[in-house]
Amino acid sequence: MKILIKNGRLIDPAVQTDRIADLHIADGRIIAQDQAPDGFSPDQVLDASGLHVIPGLIDLSARLREPGQEYKGTIASETRAAAAAGITTLCMPPDTDPIIDTPAVAEQIIRQAHDAGFARVIPLGALTLGLAGEQLAEMALLRDQGQCGAISNACQPINSAHVMRSAMEYAASCRMTVFLHADVPDLSHRGVVHEGVVSTRLGLRGIPEAAETVSVARELMLIEQTGVRAHFCHLSSAHSVRLIARAIADGLPISMGVTAHHLHLTEMDIGFFDSQCHILPPLRTQRDRDGLRQGLANGEIAIISSDHQPHDADAKLAPFGETEPGISGLETLLPLSLRMVDDGLLSLPALLAKLTCEPARILGRSDIGSLQPGSRADICLYDPEQPWTVDPSRFVSQGHNTPFAGWELKGRVTHTLLDGRQVFGPQP
């Protein structure tokens, strides 16, 4: 299949390209920009006049609910939602049922995603067997046979510093990046909101900032000792960002990310027990939100993810403390991120880098996250000026749980290509 995308504003943050150009695609790869290769005759022409043409988005944290919770979502339903959102690659945490601690589970997920055909799914292998924090998983097998792109214990704690150190040493020997969720259970203690004025006013169990920062401090010391590459996922406090930024400046091989919703919401958005704002890590203060935004603007925070967690309707209908945490975030990832440009925090190419080439770099993938010739033809076309109102009932995702219902956003995906195949948009 040969495709010509013409007259679009081509933005490739990987090489700092931003210009009007044509893109030529054949055999699932980008083969040229501007001038067509000799003998190139497209089977399909996409007129991208007025549209932005960018690499397909890469989301480093998205729960697809299958296997184990298919009533909340399936690999097919959620990758279809990803395609509608311009996302072509998703990393799937290992807390499925069964857990991704054997190559067979990872292979099954990859096969089902391939069969669905909407997006590429990269499983994250488990750091410890059963995510129990006791025995190390077979990381080398998960990498070689399960094709796992990184290692994680999802949101399950590893309380033993000895086990965490051993896990980091093993991951370093396998040259695998460890994805870390910063939390000290003894401090978070089954809390549901940030510990502060809102938790006190509503009478809800709070999670102190220290639950995150104490964990960050421990992991930084162990990373320094073991030399493992590590990525801190979905941080929520400004103090954590400062700690990690200092370690990055000292030369530690680490990166950090934030969710799109933590860049916009604070504990005040919980209002009077709005369960759509039940999120872990919790929404924190305006000072924390501003600190996350500043870390994004100055380049300390490398990536933005959706931390997609689709739920059935009943999961959000109980009293706040008994509801399940999480947001269906795939379809708002791009437009919420683009608001950072409208707010003057950073340029459009710099913002798009945090959704494309930077996640690719963390995964060690040079074949995605770019529009350069030779790269996989994973491409997103979107209309930067089209306004739309968030209506959860119209989500492609099986999960309609979002605190952004009624928000007016700009930036609507019109076409998505995966390996040179159109997986979203009007068919020719």
Q: What is the CATH number of the domain that holds 405?
A: 2.30.40.10
In the numeric block, which tokens belong to residue 363? 């995964």
Chain centre to alpha carbon of residue 395 = 18
With 80 as the cut, is the pLDDT of residue 428 above it? no
Dihedrals φ, ψ of 427, to 5°?
-80, 145
Q: In which band, very low, low, confident or very high, does the pLDDT at 427 lie, cut at 50, 70 and 90?
A: confident
What would the pLDDT profile of 121-137 be if each residue is shown by its tens digit? 999 999 999 999 999 99
Residues 122, 172, single domain; the answer is: yes
Q: What mean pLDDT value characterizes the chain?
A: 97
DSSP result, 196-239: THHHHHHT--EE-THHHHHHHHHHHHHHHHH---EEE-S---HH
Q: How large is the C-alpha radius of gyration of the chain? A: 21
Dihedrals φ, ψ of 121, to 5°?
-115, 125
Residues 351, 412, single domain; the answer is: no
How many domains are there within the chain?
2
State the residue range of the domain holding 29: 2-53+376-424
Chain centre to alpha carbon of residue 169 = 25
Q: What is the pTM of this model?
A: 0.97
Residues 406, 302, single domain; the answer is: no
Alpha-carbon span 232 to 400, nearest angstrom: 27
Q: Is there a catalytic annotation at residue 307?
A: yes
Alpha-carbon span 132 to 126, nearest angstrom: 10
Residues 154, 259, single domain; the answer is: yes
What would the pLDDT profile of 319-333 be if each residue is shown by its tens digit? 999 999 999 999 999
What would the pLDDT profile of 1-43 be if each residue is shown by its tens digit? 999 999 999 999 999 999 999 999 999 999 999 999 999 999 9
Residues 246, 200, single domain; the answer is: yes
From the candidates 307, 367, 378, 391, give the one annotated as an active-site residue. 307
Residues 45, 67, single domain; the answer is: no
Residues 24, 66, single domain; the answer is: no
Q: Is residue 60 part of a domain?
A: yes
Q: Note if the bond before 98 is cis, omega within 30 degrees.
A: yes
Residues 202, 344, single domain; the answer is: yes
Q: Is residue 10 part of a domain?
A: yes
Alpha-carbon span 324 to 315, nearest angstrom: 6
Residues 32, 165, single domain; the answer is: no
Residues 289, 232, single domain; the answer is: yes
Q: Is residue 368 part of a domain?
A: no
412 beta partners: 383
Single residue among 314, 331, 363 that ends a domain in this structure: 363
Residue 127: give its domain's CATH number: 3.20.20.140
Q: Is residue 39 part of a domain?
A: yes
What would the pLDDT profile of 265-313 be if each residue is shown by its tens digit? 999 999 999 999 999 999 999 999 999 999 999 999 999 999 999 999 9
With 90 as the cut, is the pLDDT of residue 107 above it? yes
Residues 27, 84, single domain; the answer is: no
Q: Is residue 370 part of a domain?
A: no
Per-residue pLDDT averaged across 390-410, rounded? 98
Residues 347, 393, single domain; the answer is: no
